[in-house]
């Protein structure tokens, strides 16, 4: 049975963990942890740093999937597009109904949704060459630089069973596992793929601040691995109505 | 041994963003985009005029679905 571990109880959990014969000093990292670690302005940045400091102090090898790397790039892409939209008076060139939608959305969010970005791109009043120029000037260079950073630095390693068989229980990830997770928990495909890879990893726990991931792991009965999260997210999860035995 | 270098990477990423959205660069780009958009608006206006000048039965906007 999976358990949710709050960061302040990790020491006790860890002391139990190292007594196990199959213990490996590797932690599987979810995309929101990489994103909030790398975005200094992210609301989860302080709690993520607490989690990562704790794990690095104990010499954990922090690894994740290449899917996470693409999610990190996608996050910064959306962040830059959102910034462009606000910095370039683009909103004055789109249909008033779309302008209202975006302005209302940005009152509560820092980053545009994928749907609104698509609406913007297809808005007939923005010439495609304007969009291309925006991408060339404000997205192309930073995305390439971030990609190079993700490839070259050693903060997290992006692994598959082919890269490092010792970190996984199978030689190839069976992708129908992701389908089963979608079917049993209703979670989106990107999250389901990450949970599926985690499920076939040897790491006993995933580090995440994403409630959807934690929720799905508790709901997916075939998963018998734990979730390490911040104290705040732990408290929120407790309100979801899961029985107490799920909480470490 | 894992080294805690996340903060350094995060700082580098913040710098990348600041550079991409440097005020001077943004102002220049805004001017350039304004020109492109202005030309496009003019093109649209000409097309609109041409459409308006067409006899009603040739105007694609007046086509009725069958």
> Which of A56, A88, A141 comes nearest B20 by C-beta?
A141
pLDDT band of residue B2 (cuts 50, 70, 90) is: very low
DSSP B22: -
Q: What is the ipTM of this complex?
A: 0.85
Inter-residue contact A84 to A69 (CB < 8 Å): no
- Is residue B26 one of the residues assigned to a domain? yes
3-state secondary structure of A78: helix
Q: What share of chain B in percent tops pLDDT 90?
A: 15
pLDDT at A10 over 90: yes
- B13 lies in a domain? no
> To the nearest whole percent, how much of chain A has pLDDT over 70?
98
- The answer to whether position B14 is within a domain reads no
Chain B: give the shortest CA distance to residue A149, in Å: 8
Residue of A nearest to B34 (CA): A130
- Cα distances (angstroms) measured from residue B26 to each of A14, A102, A134, B56: 49, 21, 10, 45
Judged by CB atoms closer than 8 Å, whether chains meet at A49 and B6 is answered as: yes
Place B3 in a pLDDT band, splitting at 50, 70 and 90: low
Lowest mean pLDDT among A147-156, A216-225, A236-245, B28-37: B28-37
What pLDDT does residue A221 have? 74
How confident is residue B50, by pLDDT bands cut at 50, 70 and 90?
confident
Q: What pLDDT is recorded for position B66?
A: 52
| B3 belongs to a structural domain | no
What pLDDT, in 10s, does the model give residues A45-62?
999 999 999 999 999 999
Residue A44 in tokens: 């989860």
Q: Tell me if B57 is assigned to some domain.
A: no
Q: Is B40 part of a structural domain of the chain?
A: yes
Tens-place pLDDT, residues A142-175 = 999 999 999 998 899 888 888 888 889 999 999 8
Mean pLDDT of A179-203: 93
Asked if A62 and A167 touch (Cβ cutoff 8 Å), the reply is: no
Say whether residue A132 is in contact with chain B using an 8 A CB cutoff. no
pTM, full prediction: 0.85
Partners of A206 in beta bridges: A28, A227
Number of domains in chain B: 1
Judged against a pLDDT cut of 60, whether residue B1 lies above it is answered with no
Contact state of A142 with B10 under an 8 Å Cβ cutoff: no
How far off is chain B from A225, nearest CA to CA, in Å? 23
Answer whether residue B47 is part of any domain.
Answer: yes
Residue A183 has pLDDT above 90, yes or no: yes
Of A20, A24, A52, A16, the closest CA to residue A208 belongs to A52
Judge whether B30 lies within some domain: yes
């Amino acid at each position: 049975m999976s358990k949710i571990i709050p960061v302040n109880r990790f020491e006790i959990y860890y002391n139990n963990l190292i007594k196990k014969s199959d213990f490996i000093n590797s932690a599987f990292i979810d995309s929101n942890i990489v994103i909030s670690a790398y975005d200094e302005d992210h609301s989860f940045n302080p709690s993520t740093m607490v989690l990562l400091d704790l794990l690095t102090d104990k010499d954990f090898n922090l690894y994740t999937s290449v899917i996470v790397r693409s999610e990190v790039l996608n996050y910064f892409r959306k962040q830059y597009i959102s910034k462009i939209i606000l910095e370039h008076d683009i909103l004055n060139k789109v249909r008033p109904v779309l302008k209202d939608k975006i302005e209302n959305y940005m009152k509560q969010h820092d980053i545009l949704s994928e749907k609104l970005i698509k609406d913007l791109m297809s808005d007939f009043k923005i010439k495609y060459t304007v969009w291309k120029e925006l991408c060339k000037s404000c997205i192309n260079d930073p995305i390439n630089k971030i990609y190079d950073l993700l490839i070259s630095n050693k903060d997290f390693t992006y692994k598959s069973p082919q890269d490092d068989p010792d970190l996984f229980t199978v030689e190839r990830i069976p992708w129908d596992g992701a389908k089963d997770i979608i079917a049993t928990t209703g979670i989106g495909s990107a999250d389901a793929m990450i949970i599926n890879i985690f499920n076939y990893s040897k790491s006993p726990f995933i580090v995440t601040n994403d409630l959807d991931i934690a929720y799905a792991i508790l709901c997916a009965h075939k998963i018998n691995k734990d979730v390490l999260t911040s104290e705040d997210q732990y408290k929120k999860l407790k309100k979801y109505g899961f029985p107490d035995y799920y909480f470490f | 041994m894992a080294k805690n270098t996340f903060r350094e990477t995060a700082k580098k990423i913040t710098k990348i963003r600041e550079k991409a959205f440097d005020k001077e660069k943004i102002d220049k780009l805004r001017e350039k985009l304004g020109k492109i958009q202005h030309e496009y608006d003019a093109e649209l206006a000409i097309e609109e005029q041409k459409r308006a000048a067409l006899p009603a039965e040739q105007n694609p906007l007046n086509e009725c679905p069958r």
